[in-house]
Amino acid sequence: MRRWPLKIKTGAYAALLTMLTLMVTAVFFFTILYYRQRKEVDDELRDNADELVRDLRNFRGAPVNPRHPLSVKFVPVDLREHYLMLMGPEGQLLYQSPNLEGTNIEGEPGFRTVTIAQQACRAGSFKMGDFTVHVAMSLAPLEAFHADLRFGLLMTLPLIGVMVFAGGLWLGNRAVAPVAALSHAAEAISVENLAERLPTPPADDEIARLTVVLNSAFDRLRAAYTSATRFSADASHQLKTPVAVLRAGLESLRDSPETSAASREELDGLLRQVRRLTGLIQDLLLLAGTDARRLRLESQPFDLSDLAAEALDDLGVLAHDRLEVESDLTPGLTVCADRRHVAMVSQNLIENAAKYTPEGGRVRVTTTREGDVARLSVANTGPALPEADREGIFERFRRGSQVGEGTSGHGLGLNIARELARAHGGDLELVRSDGEWTEFALTLPMGV
């Protein structure tokens, strides 16, 4: 029931609770009713015994000697339908009901349940002066009455369960309707429209208070997101000029005739770090644009296979004959996208494949069409990625645990590549990494 909607759960729980309550109540009710009715039977047996002895003492023509047998004419009509044994002072049998057929119902004074003619009966024994009266009556009507009650309850329980379930479903619908409205409104809140807010219900209840709290949280998140995005963009933009000046100064010093060879070597190392810093600033500016949804895409139709062929030329340079390059390009894969940004994605995949493929390994680049989607796949041989690295491989500033300190990069390439792919309505994903091949696939919608 975990995956069922809340309104279904509400109806089901209400029906189950109602049926359980009815069953527990019925057990107590039937028990109390049974013992109450049995008490009435006991009272009736006592009254019958009193009536018999009173008639024997007061009616004209009743036997004077309590030791003489008793004729049936002295037994009250009501008692003739029951089971009766009348005993004298010395315990001699004065009268026995014909329906007993030899069954003995004698017992200690008080009430008990006995079996007569294979039927449950209630019996009572009473010492009244010279007489001892043993009287019993069948419990069959009482048991039949309770059987009818149980049958009626069992027949009505499903109907009650269905009715309560329907009522619980209706109440559940009414209860979750405000929550459903909030969920629908929350789905409309995204990076593109951070100003959207949840509608406040008219009633001043828990849902309304929750809406106010959520809207307040959205306000704080919007302010934090805007501040972080602005800071990232402004900081990266402000760093561009001083880094460019620093790079120009270092190049001027390196190219100066007065600079010694040792100084030039040191300046070349500093320039490499400056160029790395320049690349990081450009990546941060690009990420700031994608985060703020301000990335300008100049989409135009082009053949994805042609772009993959250009990437293969770059791969040939990066491989330096130390890797085996394979390709299978399907011509005519026209997509409508920003060629420059898609080239950045393919370049990132190509560089990663060349960087992490061991000496003598293989790199395979393929393009295919899958329905309305064009697919660019870049795979390389080598050890499988650790499971922990696969989960966060697209996170920012996340580098694999097996990447050495001397390996270039700052952990933004795959994240930027995926953001660019998604900005075009496509995606970038890790398809496999099983120790034989590690494969990444870029998917883009086919152009019209």
Per-residue pLDDT 10s for the chain (448 aa) are 557 777 777 778 888 888 888 889 888 998 999 899 999 999 988 988 888 888 777 766 666 566 777 777 777 777 788 888 888 888 888 888 888 887 888 888 999 999 888 889 999 999 988 888 899 999 988 889 989 988 888 888 888 888 888 888 787 777 777 777 777 777 667 665 666 777 777 767 777 777 777 778 777 777 766 665 666 556 555 666 676 777 777 777 777 787 777 777 777 777 777 666 666 666 666 666 665 556 677 788 999 888 888 888 877 776 667 888 888 888 888 898 888 888 888 888 888 888 888 888 888 999 999 888 999 999 999 888 887 777 678 776 666 545 544 444 556 778 878 888 888 888 999 888 888 889 999 999 987 5
CA 116 to CA 124: how far, in whole Å? 14
Residues pairing with 121 in the sheet: 114, 138
Whole-angstrom CA distances from 41 to 35, 47, 149 are 10, 10, 19
CA 60 to CA 415: how far, in whole Å? 116
Dihedral over alpha carbons 15, 20, 23, 28 (to 10 degrees): -140
CA 366 to CA 309: how far, in whole Å? 10
In the chain, ranges of CATH 3.30.565.10 domains: 300-445
In the chain, ranges of CATH 3.30.450 domains: 6-146
- Which CATH code, of 3.30.450, 1.10.287, 3.30.420, 3.30.1490, is assigned to 6-146? 3.30.450
Predicted structure pTM score: 0.47
Instruction: Provide the CATH topology of domain 300-445.
Output: Heat Shock Protein 90 (3.30.565)
In the chain, ranges of CATH 1.10.287.130 domains: 206-291
CA 51 to CA 374: how far, in whole Å? 104
Six-digit token string for 120: 């449950």
- Which CATH code, of 3.40.50.2300, 1.10.287.130, 1.20.120.140, 3.30.365.10, is assigned to 206-291? 1.10.287.130
Tell me which residue has tokens 């091949």: 437
